[in-house]
Amino acid sequence: MCLGCIFVAYLHLVCFTSPARAAEFTHTTATLSEARWLLGAATAGNKAIFAGGWLDGAGNFSDVIDIYDADTGIWSTASLSQPTPFLSGASLGDRAFFGGGGWFSATDRVDIYDAGANPGEEWSTGSLSVERERLGATALGNKVFFAGGYISGGSSDVVDIYDTSLDAWSTASLSVGRINLVATSVGDKALFGGGYYYGSNLLSNVVDIYDVNANPGEEWSTATLSQGRMYFARTTVGHLAMFAGGVSELVPTWIVTDTVDIYNSDTDQWSTAHLSVARDNLAAASVGDFAFFAGGNNDDFFSDVVDIYNAQTDTWTTTTLSVARSGLAATAVGNMVIFAGGVDAEGNSDVVDIFIVPALLPGDANGDGVVSADDYSSVQSNFANTGHAGIPGDATGDGMVSADDYAAVQSNFGDTTGLGGETTVPEPGMIGLLAIGGLALLRRR
């Protein structure tokens, strides 16, 4: 047996009596200024923004923008340049972008919010190269992408790319045109997945991938989802891009799936998981190590289910929305995931569900909510790894597993996130001796 293993085993015997615990989330609610569904969402700095949407069966659309300030907890409103449903939102630093949209009456308008601008000068507009709706949008590096979508009579393969450092637009092409695709970014890649080939009964499993670090002319490649789909949700947590739920079959019957396709940017590999309930028209967003997939519908019922994936522990849990609904929008700001609007059994919804993720507990290297002997083990087994804040072994939240993390475990030993339960704390002198021993073992490796 290695000396490091003896060290960790001994630490368990003298220090650890408390089992691992799941994270708890504070759940609150608010209301939008106007009930609507099929709205767009994005984040700019400390603000979560919900824009546009569908008002009624008569084809009336909303130009309302609801803005939540995460620092003050105050809501305010603004107006889009034109009323629009099916807006595609993307976030890049202090700016939020809402592009395209419509319902068989597409627009090329891009409304841009800059949280760092002077008061009264936050909003500006840009234009896509082609009017279209139901496209996918994401941001990567200093670029914002608007891809695919419906154009008059068909599916578009156009990708509009806005370079914020140059204040310039350019275009590229998807491998195949489609509508109702989704987009997210992970690592150095932007992914544009799935969709529907307009005018057919065929759903797409294609994923177009843009690599920001590739040689000029070699930026684009393709992959495939495990099944074709539309009306699904996407989000990124850590080094994982996740594509969840949606419609997977159109004929002979409409079939909704529970499949989650997961792309790991560190390994360049794909895997699958499953939601607790199959559904489409759900929404997703992520904070820290947690990805949330909320709401949706399946056949004749609206869902209140929220599936939560913990990327650090590779585990799934569930909770519920305050009101079951579909066609809602989601974004994250600070340590909050926010789900707004939608349509429920009574009609359009103005409900906002807010889930607050506990801040990283200093010393908690394995994310179980307790600073214990297990955290020494997590630091040891992941030593020298780097990545996003809170990766396994990262007890300080700096995205690196180093000797500093041993020190964080030592200085915070016995702390919890307030989830209850009993933790036995050894004498401070014993902790110090054991931690020093662990560091010495690592230095000798």
pLDDT digits (tens, 9 = 90+) for 35-70: 999 999 999 999 999 999 999 878 899 999 999 999
Q: pLDDT class for 152, splitting at 50, 70, 90?
A: confident
Handedness of CA 247, 250, 254, 257 (dihedral sign): negative
In whole angstroms, what is the distance from residue 116 CA to residue 122 CA? 7
Q: Which pair of tokens denotes residue 108?
A: 């090329």
Q: Which residues of 75-105 are buried (b: 16+ CB within 10 A; e: fewer)?
A: beeeebeebbbbbbbbbbebbbbbbbbbeee
In tens, the pLDDT along 242-257 reads 999 999 999 889 999 9
Q: Which residue has the higher pLDDT, 414 or 132?
A: 132
In CATH terms, the superfamily for domain 26-356 is: Kelch-type beta propeller (2.120.10.80)
pLDDT of residue 439: 35
Would you say residue 365 has pLDDT above 90? no
Q: What is the mean pLDDT of residues 203-228?
A: 97
Rounded to an integer, the average pLDDT of 295-322 is 95
Relative orientation angle of helices 3-15 and 428-444, to the nearest 10 degrees: 170
Q: Where in the chain is the domain with CATH 2.120.10.80?
A: 26-356
Q: Strand, helix or coil at 409?
A: helix
* pLDDT recorded at residue 417: 58
Nearest Cα neighbor of 55 from 41, 39, 72, 36 is 36
Nearest-angstrom CA–CA distance, 346 and 51: 22
pLDDT in tens, 330-350: 999 999 999 999 999 999 999
pLDDT averaged over every residue in the chain:
87
Q: Is the pLDDT of residue 3 over 50?
A: no
- For residues 396-420, average pLDDT: 78
Say which range, 123-127, 370-374, 399-403, 433-437, has the weakest mean pLDDT: 433-437
